[in-house]
A and B are shown apart, each in its own frame.
Chain A
Amino acid sequence: MRHLFKLDNQEHAVWLTWRDGRYFLLIGDSEQPVALEGAGGRDRLTVGNVTVPVLAAVDGDDIHIHVDGITRTLRYLDPIRHYAAHSGASVDDVILAPMPGTVVQAIVSPGQAVARGDTLVVIESMKLETAIKSPRDGVVETVHVSTGMTFDRSAPLVTLAPATGA
């Protein structure tokens, strides 16, 4: 079956199969045999007929990978949860922190109607204040942070109630 991974805000569909005693990975219309062998330290990854060293760590749905001199984090999009997200709460409803920092002021409160561009939360990072603005018109469902709280990058700050009618 088809699986989705998210990388740098882009979704990539893959299809892994097992036959003739090995795995094959289908990406787009190209299929290649793949294998991952661990021997402590760096693993050996084979795609097609080329083997390279790879270092990886799995943390929940996140897979952190270092290969070809670059490091990226891929997120596995669970088919069930992914479907649920598309039918109900959209990703656009959750406003995430663009960088780690501290909350200077949470401007809005739950139940409050906001317009696109309204300031939801003011954060401070690297000694600079940044206003986090609403991406659309809507109603605030949850405010995840309070004044003085510190947070990591991509931490949820505010959730808007799902858009209706659209």
Chain B
Amino acid sequence: MTKPFSRVLIANRGEIAVRIIRTLRRLGIDSVVVFHEADRASPAVQQADQAVEIKGSTPVAAYLDAEQIIAAAKSTGSEAIHPGYGFLSENTAFARAVADAGIVFVGPTPDAIELMGDKIRARAFVESHGFPVAPSAIEDDDPSTFNERARAVGAPLLIKPSAGGGGKGMRIVRDLSLLDEEIERARSEGQRYFGDGRLYVERYVENPRHIEVQVMGDAHGNVIHLFERECSVQRRFQKIVEETPSPALTPELRVRICETAAGIARAAGYRNAGTVEFIYGNGEFYFLEMNTRLQVEHPVTEMVTGIDLVAEQLSVAAGRPLSVSQADVAVTGHAIEYRIYAESPAQGFTPTTGRVLRLGLPEGDGIRLDLGIAEGQRVTSAFDPMLAKLVVHGADRAEAIARADRALADFALLGCETNAEFLRRLNADEAFGRGDVHTGFLDANPQIAAEPELEPATLARLLATASLLTRPVRDAADAVPELHAAMGAWRN
């Protein structure tokens, strides 16, 4: 098959830029990356065929500067721009500006980004097509009947300020006899925090799971799903571990949730890779939102289906039909992704910084490491703290977990603390082993984040290595005559 483009610019950095370059190389497409000075030593800049420096008041600002990025695409003769995830990937104005410049945006139509980017509109769209959304009541629809409509949603329910965010002013109601009182309290909190007392109410799912479905659509009206991913293990509402298949779904539920996701994408005339996210609990699932881009955790889907999602994105962006039909998509084995962050789990997952002095990388059957940093590079607080993704594949979940244990133990990054040891403890946790997780799992199990005492043998190995590598310690040993040395050992 001929290649869809001859040159593609990647408007991103870190591991995702490296991952996109890998597919471009495989397809024989020239790769161009844009980079801020802070990333000059990064693997993406080293591996791309061309790297164009962009500037910004902060490093992040450079990667958000549509004008410089489009200019770089033009000056390098790039035919398409792949936005990766984050940054400009779900920015309608950027997608339009790229198209206006005569360049292909590797993503959905601007209209689809706009629809799904507005959470209220997206929810209304999904509901109007008959797909499940969490039962809810919006005060603005008719303030005079709000309390009755809220009661009809049923317990447990969640009251949220319409103007809110960040969890402020949210109240969970489990006993409907307290509803009126709680609504008044939420209203006064909303007024205090946001200067706006308007509310809405939705069904609250206790200890919910986050399950999402990978979809892929082309410009010819074909939409397929590539099964689900379970992303329930989170900290601060950010995913840490994702896997497929979900340990929670029965075969019947899997069919229902995957077909629902494909149906939503089809109704939206969706083109590109996309992810439909659901909240799942008590055997029911509700639409949460749709992400109109490649997802961080897309590799687990690639590992079990053998389909290169970036290659499919490029192909449909070039106007070609999907290379696979729904019947071609089959799942083999089990895959789990572990996000390696520069952070200290024992200290409340606070970010860490440092220079990468040495890397030791896991390898072996079923191991994929998407790495965004190189030795010598500095980890700063300028960017998101995710450094790498370890993705393991096994014949079943137990084999994937066993392989991950080995790979996480082998992963070594010297010079900046990471969460790798925490991920290994999480991987060894009994409840995690049973797949018994929910979005509040880490908050409910703080012992996983706590750092255990070192084994005496490990402490001895650390001290022995440090002693043998410290010049003054070695010099002192070498300088002392053997007789004294022998005596020294017996002295206090």
Contact = CB atoms under 8 A, between A and B. Distances in A.
A152 B354 contact: yes
B350 interface: yes
B117 interface: no
Interface stretch (B80-88, B287-295, B366-374, B412-420): B412-420
Q: How large is the interface on A (under 10, 10 to 19, 20 to 34, 35 or more residues)?
A: 35 or more
B463 A5 contact: yes
Given A17-B477, A17-B486, A55-B412, A36 B469 contact: yes
Given A14-B467, A34-B464, A36-B468, 20 more contacts: A3-B473, A5-B466, A16-B473, A19-B485, A25-B463, A34-B467, A47-B461, A55-B414, A57-B415, A63-B465, A66-B412, A66-B414, A67-B465, A68-B409, A68-B455, A70-B454, A74-B463, A99-B351, A100-B353, A125-B350
By CB atoms of chain A within 10 A, which of B459, B470, B474 has the most? B470
Interface in B331-369: 344, 347, 350-355, 357-358, 360
Contact of B477 (A18, A63, A64, A71): A18
Given A18-B480, A25-B463, A45-B464, A58 B415 contact: no
A68 B452 CA distance: 14
A24 B489 contact: yes
Interface in A69-117: 69-72, 74, 76, 78-79, 98-101
Contacts of B181: none
Contacts of A79: 472
Given A42-B360, A58-B469, A150-B381, A68 B461 contact: yes
A67 B460 CA distance: 11
A100 B460 contact: no
Interface of B: 344, 347, 350-355, 357-358, 360, 380-381, 408-410, 412-415, 417-418, 420-421, 424, 454-455, 457-470, 472-474, 476-478, 480, 482, 485-486, 488-489
B460 A32 contact: yes
Contacts of A166: none
B454 A18 contact: no
A163 interface: no
A131 interface: no
A7 interface: yes
A20 B485 CA distance: 11
A5 to B, nearest CB: 5
Contacts of A98: 347, 350
A136 to B, nearest CB: 23
A101 B486 CA distance: 50
Nearest to A30: B460
A5 B479 CA distance: 20
B413 to A, nearest CB: 7
A26 interface: yes
Given A59-B415, A99-B350, A152-B354, A3 B462 contact: no
A42 B361 CA distance: 10
Contacts of A47: 457, 460-461, 464
Contacts of B462: 7, 65, 67, 72, 74
Nearest to A21: B482
Nearest to B375: A57
A144 interface: no
A31 B487 CA distance: 13
A26 B417 CA distance: 29
Contact of A19 (B360, B420, B465, B482): B482
B424 A153 contact: no
Contact of A56 (B350, B469, B489): B469
Nearest to A127: B166
B480 to A, nearest CB: 7
A56 B354 CA distance: 15
A157 interface: no
Contacts of B460: 25, 27, 32, 47
Contact of B470 (A55, A69, A76): A76
B341 to A, nearest CB: 12
15 contacts: A1-B480, A5-B463, A15-B489, A17-B485, A17-B489, A19-B482, A25-B460, A25-B464, A34-B468, A55-B360, A57-B358, A59-B355, A72-B454, A100-B351, A100-B380
Contact of A55 (B358, B424, B466, B472): B358
A14 B473 contact: yes
Given A3-B476, A152-B353, A101 B381 contact: yes
Contact of B408 (A7, A17, A26, A69): A69
Contacts of A58: 469-470
A18 B485 contact: yes
B477 A23 contact: yes
B469 A63 contact: yes
A32 to B, nearest CB: 7
Given A3-B476, A25-B467, A52-B461, A64 B352 contact: no
Given A34-B468, A71-B413, A76-B472, A57 B357 contact: yes
